[in-house]
Structure 1
């Protein structure tokens, strides 16, 4: 019986998600091993890594790994992904919103045999949405409600002079599409973009964003009408150290990596 060599995984970014993914790889993830890390402060990263795992600039990751997990600011996605895709390798993308502004990455993956994977992240039910999309989806609607601190500083709020710091009741701050939200809320609504990519696209998916001072968790509700099924789903995510990101986001990346080397895969 033959066994495959472990998948060499690089992690770009050591924020809340990247740190959690690194920890899971260090603890042992069957079929995977931590190959390299890149971070804004390389010296600090080296001090946190086990011996033998290098911390290198972004451009140094590709020769060391088969796949990279992008857990960095959205603006860095092309710099992280392009070398891997040109080499026919894999990229796990958390900044899904940035994909809408970097469509050439999909072309690179197609041309060179690479693959971009967008994990489930802070959402549920993407398998069901993707399955429904094999038929006809009539509508997809998502309502996101977040604690105030998870939305403060979003470019859309700043540009439109929407003050939410002192609100005392829920306030709808946005109604539009995931494509628009990806620009106005780049650190908040990657889940909406992922939903749109699984379903009917970033221009047909309907999205509302609410700031709610009574909430302590990020909540998302999805309603789908399709020719195969009608369904609704909701999730309440406990924030990580970064209030804009739920704890389950990092766990979804770990689950995604675990699937890649597993003898049994459950779910599409």
Structure 2
């Protein structure tokens, strides 16, 4: 089979790791192109790493690649997804919270034979949640604890005048639905959106978000009540160079890409 051609939208912490790995060689995958809001900085990175990858506008991805990986601000998800989906191609979405208010992107994928893929990212257990959703799930609750720096600048905090500076104890900064969390913390809790898409939806999936100066990792716990099982899962993610994102997110993207053309696929 020919290699799956991969485009990378955004060369931040995740995009850079993915570009390095694909450039080094991953069986079945090929780095086709990339895009960045800061073209000069992106080109400097590519040159310094010896990565021969063209930088192209987002709407040209469909001419170069079979799948685009979104590693960019949630605000431009439409610009990344629409051209690929109209061409019947695939998009791997990390900012999956941005999908919740944009159901038309799913319709666009259906109409044109495209595909939206949400990798596991920073949360474990989505296989179990998706399996339980084939039966009846009565409740899903998630608790997230992050170092205050990982939440700073979130729109919800700014809109409600909530400060996370100088904390000496944990502070509950949000409690509500995954839909509201995704809107208020677009760079912080895409895990909640992914959990809701795997399970009972964004309005019934509940989340508490804590700014906790005692933790150095991004910590997530999910609790699920279903007719098939009751389970609780916890993970502590080491932050990447971007404190809002765990290192495991980029590795999850790579694992999901490998699975696309692998002769053996493990997991639901």
Q: Specify the TM-score bucket, using the shorter chain as the normaliser.
A: over 0.9
- Range that drifts further, 94-103 or 117-126: 94-103
**Which stretches in structure 1 are left out of the alignment for 5+ residues?**
none
* 1:27 shift after superposition: 1.4
The residue that corresponds to 1:99 in the other structure is 99
Determine if contact 1:42/1:56 at 8 Å carries over to the other structure: no
Match of 2:262 in 1: 262
2:23–2:51 Cα contact (<8 Å) kept = no
Distance in structure 2 (CA, Å) of the matches to 1:129 and 1:145: 21
C-alpha distance in 2 between matches for 1:260 and 1:175:
36
Q: Report the counterpart of residue 38 of structure 2 in structure 1.
A: 41
SS in 2 for 1:231: strand
Cα distance between partner residues in 1 of 2:53 and 2:241: 24
Aligned to 1:68: 68
C-alpha distance after superposition, 1:81-139 (max 9, x if no partner): 10110111000000001001211110000000000000000000000000000000010
Equivalent residues of 1:146, 1:219 under 8 A apart: yes
Question: How many Å separate the matches in 2 of 1:128 and 1:235?
Answer: 15
- 1:132 and 2:129 correspond: no
Q: Quote the residue 2:195 is aligned against.
A: 195
**Deviation of residue 51 (structure 1)?**
5.9
Distance, in Å, in 1 between the alignment partners of 2:51 and 2:77 is: 27
C-alpha displacement of 1:43: 2.9
1:1-80 matches, cutoff 5 A: 4-49=1-46, 50=50, 52-80=52-80
- Counterpart-to-counterpart distance in 1, 2:242 and 2:27: 28
2:183 aligns to what?
183
Counterpart secondary structure, 1:61: helix
What residue is the counterpart of 1:85 in the other structure?
85
Counterpart-to-counterpart distance in 2, 1:205 and 1:91: 24
Aligned residue for 1:154? 154
Number of residues paired by the alignment? 265
> What RMSD in Å do the two structures reach over aligned CA positions?
1.0
After superposition, what is the alpha-carbon deviation per residue over 1:34-84, rounded to whole angstroms, capped at 9, x for unaligned?
000001122332333346421112122111101100000001101001011
TM-score normalised according to structure 2 size: 0.97
Provide TM-score, normalisation by structure 1. Answer: 0.97
For 1:114, the equivalent position in structure 2 comes to 114
SS at match of 1:259: helix
- 2:164 is aligned to 164
- Cα distance in 1, alignment partners of residues 110 and 249 from structure 2: 26
Structure 1 stretches of at least 4 aligned residues deviating more than 4 Å after TM superposition = none
